[in-house]
Amino acid sequence: MNRTKNIDQLRTQSFDLLIIGGGITGAGIALDAASRGLNVALVEKNDFAFGTSSRSTKLIHGGLRYLKQLEFGLVKEVGSERAVVHKLAPHLVVPEKMLLPLYEKRGFGSLLTSIGLKLYDWLAGVKPEDQRRMLTRNQTLKQEPLLKPEDVKGGAIYAEYRTDDARLTIELIKTAAQYGACVVNYCQVEEFHYQEDKITGAKVKDHVADLSFSVKAKVVVSAAGPWVDELRTINHSKKGKRLHLTKGVHLVIPRTKFPVKQAIYFDVEDGRMIFAIPRGEITYVGTTDTNYQGSIDEVYTSKDDAEYLVRAVNRTFPEVNLALTDIESSWAGLRPLIHEDGKSASELSRKDEIFESDTGLISIAGGKLTGYRKMAERVVDLVIEKYFDEVESPCQTENIPFVGSDFKNYNQVKEYIIRTAENLKEVGLSHRAAYLVNNYGKQTDLILARLHQSPAPVNEVELIKAELWFCLTHEMVVSPSDFFIRRTGMLYFNRPLMESVLNPIIEDFGSHFNWTNQTLQKEKTELEKSIHLAYQF
């Protein structure tokens, strides 16, 4: 993806469809529409996956919690979609068995849980070998010895999938680009253009070059997540239903401090459900579910958020004795749900809805990471029905693998990890193989080829520099924050490593973009601000 070339294309071409928002929903719409033959543009005011799509629990899950709300249709849809997304990107969507402890004094009993999980397996189309397995008290405590033993009365194991939401989004963006979509980050819609009271495009500002220009399009779709109502306001169409933003927070704790043996989904005193998920050298815990009224451009973990999750961990795993000072990092994101009077944050539906304005702006909000493909299909079906009835192609994204993902199944992913580890063994970097393959799939070969071309001695810093080269060349990275947060996840999952390579990586940015010392310092300050916000409490 060449940003300069794509900017020129935005300025000079007319498009069938302009998509606003480079999160998972916008990326899904771009691929669906482009693969059906539409001429597609996508603009994102920050980096791709900047908002909700890099700040979820990082699970492609089947919506077990929605059984409580009796949203059987939602459970069925997102449950079925898990298998599809796993097929499309098995290196990014990895099977994960989840432990659900059962307690004497709260939550559902064994019988109701067994029935509920059986229903969940049926609705989600879970394969027989992955279907729920009920556990006795002793089996549950053996599965996870850190649990408070006097509370546990049993448990269950059920199937989930773990992912990296930002990586999933960027690979989807790249796949859409392969089908001809013109995608650009750091381009913000400032106003809409109209002809005879119908929307015909938008004026956008390129924040990198600090200039504005117009983009012409027959149809405009807003998939801007928490910013949907801001765009509806610019379009003078914010009426009727509106967004209800809730905040979700996750804490990152060193695995040595919170050494859970496997992923766990547990309830707390107020009835909310929380995940504790091991990942490499860390365990992350979340999420909260609280109403949000602050800035949607700068969302961070407050001390109250952190204390709530720390209390939840210590009540369920008392031997951990977690303190705020143990937290290595955190992330916080917003859920753009549809407001319903009288309902609390945790009671609001996760269903998506489409709004259409009198001027023709189509907006989509709500929904789940897992359901992105079906959300995109509904939007593109509507666009074609109303504006392009000559297009007869049905949705085909169920059969379009992501870039770098030509694996037939997860076993092939594991075999590729083993081969990559062997490749890196002689230079002492085999421990990085699983990370590279889970992040980049078979594109790992390009990174390793770059590494072995380096005249410098091969080490971890040189490997990360090769990663940076790949992200600059193929993934439209503009700033160090793009790289450390959304392309590699280092700020969240390996902060010590990030801090050890920060200076040489920023120097490589400076060389690539010919930055002045002033720009270098500005970019470093921006990254340091993000680092500070991740654990400022």
- Predicted local confidence at residue 83, as pLDDT: 86
- Position 448 pLDDT exceeds 70: yes
Which of 25-34, 473-482, 528-537 has the lowest average pLDDT? 528-537
Q: Which domain holds residue 455?
A: 410-535
Question: For residue 185, is pLDDT > 90?
Answer: yes
E strand intervals along 255-340:
263-267, 273-279, 282-286, 290-291, 329-338
Asked whether the predicted pLDDT for residue 287 surpasses 90, the reply is no
Angle ∠(34,37,43) on CA atoms, nearest 5: 30
Is residue 219 domain-resident?
yes
Give CA separation, 507 vs 209, 470, 479, 485, in Å.
21, 16, 12, 17
Residues 329 and 370 in one domain: no
The torsion defined by the Cα of 148, 150, 155 and 159, in degrees rounded to 10, comes to -10
Residues 383 and 444 in one domain: no
Q: Which of 9-18, 59-68, 214-223, 439-448 has the lowest mean pLDDT?
A: 59-68
Q: What is the pLDDT of residue 115?
A: 80
- Residue 242 above 70 pLDDT? yes
Average pLDDT, whole number, for the chain? 91
- In tens, the pLDDT along 207-234 reads 999 999 999 999 999 999 999 999 999 9
Mean pLDDT (whole number) for 473-483 = 97
**The last residue of a domain, from among 330, 347, 364:** 347
Residue 152 clears pLDDT 70, i.e. is over it: yes
Per-residue pLDDT averaged across 61-82, rounded?
73
pLDDT at 173 over 90: yes
Burial class (CB in 10 A: 0-12, 13-18, 19+), 496: exposed
Return the amino acid letter for 108: F
Confidence of residue 267 (pLDDT cuts 50, 70, 90): confident
**What pLDDT was estimated at residue 118?**
84
Range 405-425 average pLDDT? 94
Find residue 331's DSSP bridge partners: 250
Q: What is the CATH number of the domain that holds 299?
A: 3.30.9.10
75: in domain: no
pTM for the model stands at 0.94
State the average pLDDT over residues 434-460: 93
Taking 90 as the threshold, does the pLDDT of residue 61 lie above it?
Answer: no
- pLDDT tens for each residue of 356-386: 999 999 999 988 888 899 999 999 999 999 9
Q: Same domain, yes or no, for 136 and 185?
A: no
Q: Are residues 432 and 483 in the same domain?
A: yes
- Among 347, 363, 388, the domain-final residue is 347
At 361 the pLDDT is 97
Q: Please, what sign has the CA dihedral across residues 306, 311, 317, 319?
A: positive
108 pLDDT tier (thresholds 50, 70, 90): low
Instruction: Decide: 219 and 387 in contact? Cβ < 8 Å.
Output: yes
Is the peptide bond prior to 136 cis by the omega test (within 30 degrees of 0)? no
**271 confidence band (pLDDT: 50, 70, 90):** confident
Same domain, 415 and 528: yes
331 and 383 share a domain? no
Give the model's confidence band at 116: pLDDT under 50 very low, under 70 low, under 90 confident, else very high. confident
* 184 shares its domain with 291: no
- Quick one: pLDDT at residue 519? 93
pLDDT given for residue 368 in this prediction: 82
Q: What is the mean pLDDT of residues 397-420?
A: 94
Q: What is the CATH number of the domain that holds 453?
A: 1.10.8.870
pLDDT at position 419 over 70: yes
Q: Choose between 65 and 171: higher pLDDT.
A: 171
What percentage of the chain carries pLDDT values higher than 70?
95
The reported pLDDT for the residue numbered 240 is 79
In a domain, 104, yes or no: yes
Has residue 57 been placed in a domain? Answer: no
Q: Sorting pLDDT into bands at 50, 70 and 90, what band is 342?
A: low
| Domain assignment present for 495 | yes
Pair 262, 333 in one domain: yes
For β-strands 282-286 and 273-279, DSSP reports them as antiparallel
Number of folded domains that form the chain: 3
Kindly state whether residues 328 and 188 are assigned to the same domain: no
Percent of the chain at pLDDT above 90? 73
User: CA 368, CA 248: separation in Å to the nearest integer?
Assistant: 13
- Examine residue 405 and state whether it is found in any structural domain, yes or no: no
Strand partners, 353: 365
Least confident range of 193-202, 276-285, 362-371, 373-382: 362-371
C-alpha 182/C-alpha 196 separation (Å) is 27
Whether residue 468 contacts residue 483, with contact meaning beta carbons closer than 8 Å, is answered with yes
For residue 428 the two structure tokens come to 């002492």
pLDDT (0 to 100) of residue 107: 58
Of 13-17, 34-38, 123-127, 518-522, which gets the smallest average pLDDT?
A: 123-127
CB 279, CB 493: distance < 8 Å = yes
SS3 (DSSP) at 515: coil
Say if residue 249 is in the same domain as residue 280: yes
The CATH number for 390's domain is: 3.50.50.60
At residue 117 the predicted structure's pLDDT band, cuts being 50, 70 and 90, is confident
pLDDT (average), residues 491-506:
94
Q: What is the pLDDT of residue 260?
A: 95
Contact status, residue 321 vs residue 314, Cβ threshold 8 Å: yes
Which residue type is seen at 296? I
Residue 465 in contact with residue 473, Cβ under 8 Å? no
Residue 323 lies in a domain: yes
Q: What is the pLDDT of residue 65?
A: 65
136 and 98 share one domain: yes
Mean pLDDT along residues 152-175: 94
Q: Which residue has the higher pLDDT, 186 or 535?
A: 186
DSSP letter for each residue of 50-107: -SGGGSS--B----GGGGTTT-HHHHHHHHHHHHHHHHH-TTTSEEEEEEEEEESSSS
Q: pLDDT tens, 458-475?
A: 899 999 999 999 999 999
Q: Give a yes or no: residue 88 inside a domain.
A: no
- Looking at the structure, tell me whether residues 223 and 343 fall in a common domain: no
Evaluate if residue 501 carries a pLDDT over 90. Answer: yes
